[in-house]
Structure 1
Amino acid sequence: MAITLTPIAHQRVQHFVQTTPGALGLRFGVTKTGCSGWGHVTDLAREQRPGDTVFEDRGVKIFVDADSLALVDGTQIDFGKQGLGETFLFRNPNATAECGCGESFTTSADAA
C-alpha cells in the first residue's frame, strides 16, 4: 500500500508545504464528479483527520481519507503540463477507464 510522488511532484509539494504556514503535507483523495464517476482531488493538509492513512515519500507526508484509500492505493502523483497549464497528474492503477477529457475515472468495482 503506497502513494508516491515523482521527483518533480515531490519538489512542488515540498515547496507548497514549506511556504504555507500550518501545512503538514498533501491531502489526496477522490470525489464523485465528471462523466466517469471519480475525480482525483489534492489540497494541502492542515490536520490529520480521524481515519486518515498517512504515507511519507522522501519526507513529504501524504494524507488519504479512509473512503478514498481503496480507489487511490498505488497511485503515483506527477506534475507537468496539461493543455496550457501545469497541474498534478495521476497514474492510478485502480482506474480502468477515463472519460474523454481525462477529468474522471472508473474502477472495476464501479463496473460491477
Structure 2
Amino acid sequence: MIELTERAAKHVTDYLNNRGHGEGIRVGIRTAGCSGLAYVLEFVDEPDSVDEKFESHGVNIFVDPKSMVYLDGLLMDYVTEGLNEGFKFTNPNQKGECGCGESFTV
C-alpha cells in the first residue's frame, strides 16, 4: 500500500487540476545516486494494465510491479523546510540513504 498525507494529496490534486487532465500519479524507483535507488514521480494519463492502483485522500496512485517490492508501505508527505519544498518519503523498506538524501538503499 502507498499513502499520501492530506497535504501531499492536496498538492497533487492542485497540480492535476492546473494541468487539466490526468488519472493520478505514478510512483516508482530508478537506479541512481551513490546509494543505488531514487524515487520517480510522474503524471498518469492512461494507467498501465500491470500497475497496482491505490487511492489516498482522493488521489489515484499507480505503481509498477518491479517498484512495488521497494515501495510497499510508503508514506508520502509534502513539506516546506526553509526555502525548500517538496515530497518527503517515509519508506519502511529503506535501510539507508546517501549523505545528500537523493538516493537510498533497501
TM-score surpassing 0.5?
A: yes
**Residue in 1 aligned with 2:9?**
10
1:103 and 2:92 matched:
no
Q: Unaligned stretches of 5+ in structure 2?
A: none
RMSD: 1.3
**Superposition deviation, residue 72 in structure 1:** 0.6
Does the residue aligned with 2:66 lie in a helix, a strand or coil?
A: helix
Deviations 1:11-41 (A, max 9, x none): 1011112221331101111010000000011
Does the residue aligned with 1:71 lie in a helix, a strand or coil?
A: helix
Amino acid at match of 1:57: S
Q: Percent identity?
A: 42
**Residue in 2 aligned with 1:33?**
32
**Superposition deviation, residue 82 in structure 1:** 4.8
**Superposition deviation, residue 45 in structure 1:** 1.1
Report the TM-score when normalising by structure 1.
0.88
Report the TM-score when normalising by structure 2.
0.93
Contact 2:53 2:60 survives alignment (8 Å): yes
**Residue in 2 aligned with 1:110?**
none
Q: Unaligned stretches of 5+ in structure 1?
A: 108-112
